[in-house]
Amino acid sequence: MQRVSPTRMNLLIRKRQVKIAKQGADLLRKKRDALMKEFQKMLKPLVQAHRDLDRTAREAVSFLALALGKDGPEAVRSAALSSRGRLEVEREEEKVWGVRIPKLVVRNVVRRSSERGYTLLSVSARIDLTAMAYERLLSKIFDLVPLEAKMKKVGQEIKKTSRRVNTLEQRVIPQLQAEMKFIRQVLEDREREDKFRLKRLKAKKEKRF
């Protein structure tokens, strides 16, 4: 234990520090519990998002295989090269107990046939359905990415908050309490010594008279 000056002022300071540390640990526990609830709440949507992504990916691959088989690679490649359009992506943030969570807002992922850069006369319905299937797949990816980013961020914050709680409860507070115990013991010893000296002085005075 670090040597501390055993004074009443230092005892009062340590008492105040213990009180603040306990309040801090309590707030951090509440924050950790709230983050844990948020983390658990995200599990079901994340699992569902992965299932939707897998199903959409299988559908897109099936459409592509059919288009390649019926229309040929050249026709599919030509339609892909003629495709145009821009995605509108906005980055937003939400806060969960002071933790900044990134959030993506994506528009114009799934488009109408007329917005894809080719005419329906130049491509087959199979190619157009393939394009739509992959746009849906891209949309599912954009749905999943923020969920995974949020879960990762919240998970990191839970670990960091748990470390802070453990530091306060297992190191800081016990250290302060040990210092308080040491100061009290020294002060009590001094008080006993002072009482003993006073008794001796009183006894000497009584002998003189």
Average pLDDT (172-199) is 88
Confidence of residue 54 (pLDDT cuts 50, 70, 90): very high
Confidence of residue 48 (pLDDT cuts 50, 70, 90): very high
Domain ranges of the chain: 8-201
What is 8-201's CATH topology?
Helix Hairpins (1.10.287)
The CB-based long-range contact list for 177-184 (8 Å cut-off, 24+ gap) reads 177/18, 178/1, 179/1, 179/2, 179/4, 179/10, 179/14, 180/11, 180/14, 180/15, 180/18, 182/1, 182/4, 182/6, 183/4, 183/6, 183/7, 183/10, 183/11, 183/14, 184/11
Strands (E), the chain: 88-96, 99-107
pTM here? 0.72
Tell me what pLDDT residue 155 has. Answer: 92
Q: Are residues 9 and 182 in contact, defined by beta-carbon separation less than 8 angstroms?
A: no
Tell me what pLDDT residue 203 has. Answer: 66
